[in-house]
Amino acid sequence: MRIAIAILNWNGEVLLERYLASVVHYSEGADIYVIDNASTDGSVAFVQRNYPQIKVIQNTENGGFARGYNVGLKDVEADIFCLLNSDVEVTEGWLSPIISAFSQMPEVSIIQPKILDLMRKDHFEYAGAGGGFIDQLGYPFCRGRIFQSLEKDTGQYDDTREIFWATGACMFIKSKLYWALEGFDEDYFAHQEEVDLCWRAKNDGHTVFYVGTSKVYHLGGSTLSNMNPKKTYLNFRNSLFSITKNLPRRKALVIIFFRLLLDGIAALRFILQFKFKHFFAILRAHLSFYRQFHKMYHKREKANFIVKYYLTKSIVWSHFVHGINKFGVLIKD
């Protein structure tokens, strides 16, 4: 089983200086690539100077996370792609449980390890945590992370189990499936493209798993912080894209209606918090969604649709009304 670790980089010289060494040190047997998205700093020179064993692929433009990987991975040959953020510190033995899972469960096509916070190593990290799910309205959440509430890691998610989506911060995916799905949807640019990719994979009959015996530490927010207005814009818009593409027509239209209402409430909440940039980010997200609705709607033609896609009816209601902050309490509820 040939594994290629592909690190997408854009002006991340500082991050490569800090975290690339752990990848090289603990990834024996894997090929390592840095896919550079037309950086203007010294990223490429740093890698070529300090890690000549790493293959550097230079994209001609910064097409974001989605296009960056789609273009760069065309020059990568492997059975398994590991898509790894440049701000991730890996740990000793992190690849072994992943390889074992792929070998022992041939039906599994996508795997995510445990994602912990690099700054608070005993806590889960926002992007992925203990494996991703969505609610009936398409809002994503994780075991170990519900909205901005992060759990302490006490071994509660040291298991191996099926999940709905795997984080793009550290995602292992069979290369044949990646290309069969035509990679990430480049209209997303960045954020939640991994939710869409996993949803499309599930609609096509594939399985996504979490392997908690493999762990990595993620800095997070190195490109856009969790509360950056641009990230608010991309998350709200792209979530609507995924619903449009991956649900049956009638269900998608009903869900979109309720999502637009809830997004409006979220926008009003930002006003009350004097976060006007986030209010306008949601407004721009909706306008962009309306402009591209026809395009997204016709992408559905290639999809089959799974019936049970959600774990809970409303994570928004559970969290903001009932005050549920932990996955274990959510499931019991």
pLDDT tens digits along 295-330: 999 998 777 898 789 999 999 999 999 999 999 999
Q: Is the pLDDT of residue 223 over 90?
A: no
Residues 120 and 234 in one domain: no
Number of domains in the chain: 2
Residues 245 and 207 in one domain: no
What average pLDDT does this structure show over 117-139?
96
What average pLDDT does this structure show over 219-247?
86
pLDDT of residue 207: 97
Residues 170 and 245 in one domain: no
Return the structure tokens found at 75: 């020059």
Dihedral in degrees, nearest 10, Cα atoms 259, 194, 203, 141: -50
Residues 114 and 42 in one domain: yes
In a domain, 313, yes or no: yes
In a domain, 224, yes or no: no
Q: Is the pLDDT of residue 212 over 80?
A: yes
Residues 85 and 17 in one domain: yes
Kindly report the three-state secondary structure assignment for every residue of the chain: CCEEEEEEECCCHHHHHHHHHHHHHHCCCCEEEEEEECCCCCHHHHHHHHCCCCEEEEECCCCHHHHHHHHHHHHCCCCEEEEEECCEEECCCCHHHHHHHHHHCCCEEEEEEEEEECCCCCEECCCCCCCEEEECCCCEEECCEECCEECECCCCCCCEEECCECCCCEEEEEHHHHHHCCCCCHHHCCCCHHHHHHHHHHHCCCEEEEEEEEEEEECCCCCCCCCCHHHHHHHHHHHHHHHHHHCCHHHHHHHHHHHHHHHHHHHHHHHHCCCHHHHHHHHHHHHHHHHHHHHHHHHHHHCCCCCCCCCECCHHHHHHHCCCCCHHHHHHC
pLDDT tier at 226, thresholds 50, 70, 90: low
Residues 64 and 166 in one domain: yes
| CA–CA separation, 188 and 220 (whole Å) | 19
pLDDT of residue 18: 97
Residues 130 and 247 in one domain: no
pLDDT of residue 224: 54
pLDDT of residue 262: 94
Q: Which of 191, 218, 245 marks a domain boundary?
A: 218
In a domain, 280, yes or no: yes
Give the CATH number of the domain where residue 67 resides: 3.90.550.10
Average pLDDT, the chain: 95
In a domain, 233, yes or no: yes
pLDDT tier at 106, thresholds 50, 70, 90: very high
Q: Is the pLDDT of residue 222 over 60?
A: no
What average pLDDT does this structure show over 6-21?
97
Contacts of 147 (CB under 8 A, 6+ apart): 141, 315, 319
Residues 126 and 263 in one domain: no
pLDDT tier at 107, thresholds 50, 70, 90: very high
What average pLDDT does this structure show over 266-293?
96
In a domain, 284, yes or no: yes
Residues 269 and 155 in one domain: no
What average pLDDT does this structure show over 124-145?
96
In a domain, 113, yes or no: yes
Residues 9 and 92 in one domain: yes
Name the residue with tokens 């009932």: 322
pLDDT tier at 221, thresholds 50, 70, 90: low
In a domain, 223, yes or no: no
Contacts of 144 (CB under 8 A, 6+ apart): 124, 129, 130, 150, 151, 153, 156, 157, 327
Q: Which of 156, 184, 218 marks a domain boundary?
A: 218
% the chain with pLDDT above 90: 93
> pLDDT tens digit string along 37-77?
999 999 999 999 999 999 999 999 999 999 999 999 999 99
Residues 136 and 196 in one domain: yes
| CA–CA separation, 263 and 241 (whole Å) | 14
Q: What angle is formed at CA 68 by the lines to CA 64 and CA 72, rounded to 5 degrees?
A: 175
What average pLDDT does this structure show over 88-102?
98
pLDDT of residue 123: 97
Residues 174 and 236 in one domain: no
Q: Which of 190, 218, 246 marks a domain boundary?
A: 218
Return the structure tokens found at 76: 């990568």
- Containing structural domain, residue 319: 229-332
In a domain, 146, yes or no: yes
% the chain with pLDDT above 70: 98
